[in-house]
Chain A
Amino acid sequence: MIEVPLQQSDTVLLPERIGELTGLDQFGMAGELLAAFLAAFVVGNLMLAMTGVAGPWAKRKITAAFTDRIAVNRLGPAGLLIIVADSVRLLSKEIIIPENADRPAYDLAPIVVASSALLGFAVIPMGSGIHLADPEVGLAFVFAVAGIASIGLVMAGYASANKYSMLGGLRAVAQNVAYEIPLVITGMSVVIFAGSLRMSEIVAVQQETLVALGPVAIPAWFAIVNPFAFVLFLLANFAEVGRNPFDTPEAPTEIIAGYQTEYSSVYFVLIYLGEFLHIFLGGAIIATIFLGGPDGPGPESIGIVWFLVKIWGVFLLTQWLRSAVPRVRIDQLIEIGWKGLLVLAFANLILTAVIVGLIA
């Protein structure tokens, strides 16, 4: 038997830090709960603010730049205040609920989509001490929580009682079913290197120097150690979050807007936010397990900057693909997933295991 001792991580997490700063840690259990709540509030709103910027503003700006247009530029510097205008506009829209809607499910779906994506950020180490929780099962937790969103999409698709929504919801499932396995199996090849599911340890392993070229030390980021796995993971991730070339569940030219066809007002905002949170969660997972998390040149205290740069890099990539790559058909999508990515993911896992075994 190999003993793997269960241990608390030795990194200082955000709730503890807040507990110390505000003196809440002296009040026992109640103080602990309050500090955790405050920390969660900080993390949640940080991510929401980022998606708030990305949704109404960055997406327009980026798409406009790719298609040679001028995007929002009237309100505030570079049109940034459009975010405020948009949120007021969207929240004050009349809500139109289709007459055949399946009520509790129809109302719950937007909440499920938005909150499941937000929950995934709990275990992501964002650098500069912004790290909410560091459980033993970090990576598995993130995959599990990100998977909940597809339930929300099915609920939205079924409860709307609209044919396009139904098709969109079913397509979302087909896609998640096809790409979840390659995603997790590829993530597992990182676990083989790191020897732990704990996010802080996966990040710590990547901070070692792989090769030193004179003054430049190349870190052992898993994207550099195993670029094949990185590409596989990126592809599977785009399918998982439903972005081009795998955006068939929404496919505006085929099925209107898929599962969100019948959603308006605040419900639409929540589903839209949930999707952006999901893109950023995917970016955060990629940054953490392949790009060294908050690792980067400079002092450790600016880790959050590097982390955000990496997440926005992945976001920029999704938007570039949105402008540049055509959508694959739903039947092609199934075949790419099961006949291509799944086999490659297993090949990657076995090769990684063999190479690690031979080196060790």
Chain B
Amino acid sequence: MNDWIAIGALALVGLLIPLGMMAVSYLLRPSVPETSKRATYESGEVPTGGTRIRFNIQYYMVALLFVVFDIETVLLFPWAVVYQDALAAEEYGLLHALGPMLLFVAILLVGLAWAWRNGAVEWAQTPRQVDPGADRP
């Protein structure tokens, strides 16, 4: 039995269950359209302005770092799997099994330290937040 057939089957079931619930709900629920019922919720006030505006998402640098480290985890997984076999094998010692990985992680940790020093792993503050009194009279 292929494992991926079963996983695909669960993916199918996982799609069918929500779709089934939506179908049941479609049959049960009422529809009472009224004016301004569909207005965007803003704590009961009339919504002001649009949502899709430009603003500082404040973790742009962190997201870039994430890509680097995410790829690193992918590259480390095969090493973690074969690590014990490599230790047991005659031709590899502790130094050969562990050394390259330590070097690899060290390079990335130096990168992290550099980013840390430059304030990249922080919630970026917009200038006004740094100086609250700047635009007040």
Contact = CB atoms under 8 A, between A and B. Distances in A.
Contacts of B98: 353-354, 357
Given A111-B19, A115-B14, A353-B98, A16 B41 contact: no
A32 B83 CA distance: 36
Summarize B's interface: helix, strand, loop or mixed: helix
B1 A4 contact: no
Interface string A138-182: 001100000000000000000001111110001001100110110
Contact of A335 (B19, B97, B122): B122
Contact of B69 (A35, A99, A181): A181
Interface in B45-88: 50-52, 57-59, 62-63, 65-66, 69-70, 73, 76-77, 80-88
A184 B116 CA distance: 21
A196 to B, nearest CB: 6
Interface string B105-122: 100010010001000011
Given A36-B1, A192-B83, A353-B83, A48 B17 contact: yes
A116 B26 CA distance: 23
A261 B41 contact: yes
A136 B77 CA distance: 12
A132 B9 CA distance: 10
B21 interface: yes
Summarize A's interface: helix, strand, loop or mixed: helix
6 closest residue pairs by CB, A with B: A331-B123, A115-B14, A266-B25, A40-B9, A133-B3, A118-B14
Contact of B122 (A13, A191, A331): A331
A98 B59 contact: no
Interface residues of B, number: 72
Contact of B25 (A92, A141, A164, A358): A92
21 contacts: A13-B6, A33-B5, A94-B30, A111-B15, A115-B18, A116-B14, A121-B10, A135-B7, A161-B50, A161-B51, A173-B63, A185-B76, A188-B73, A188-B77, A188-B80, A197-B77, A266-B25, A338-B121, A339-B121, A343-B112, A346-B105
Interface of B: 1, 3-15, 17-19, 21-22, 24-26, 28-32, 37-43, 50-52, 57-59, 62-63, 65-66, 69-70, 73, 76-77, 80-89, 92, 94, 97-98, 101-102, 105, 109, 112, 116, 121-123
A335 B15 contact: no
Contacts of B86: 2
Given A98-B39, A166-B51, A338 B29 contact: no
Contact of B7 (A123, A334, A342): A123
Interface in A1-51: 2, 4, 8-9, 13-16, 19, 32-33, 35-37, 39-41, 43-45, 48
A110 B22 CA distance: 10
Contacts of A196: 81
Nearest to A41: B13
Query: Which of B6, B15, B62 gathers most chain A CB within 10 Å?
Result: B6
Interface in A340-360: 342-343, 346, 349-350, 353-354, 356-358, 360
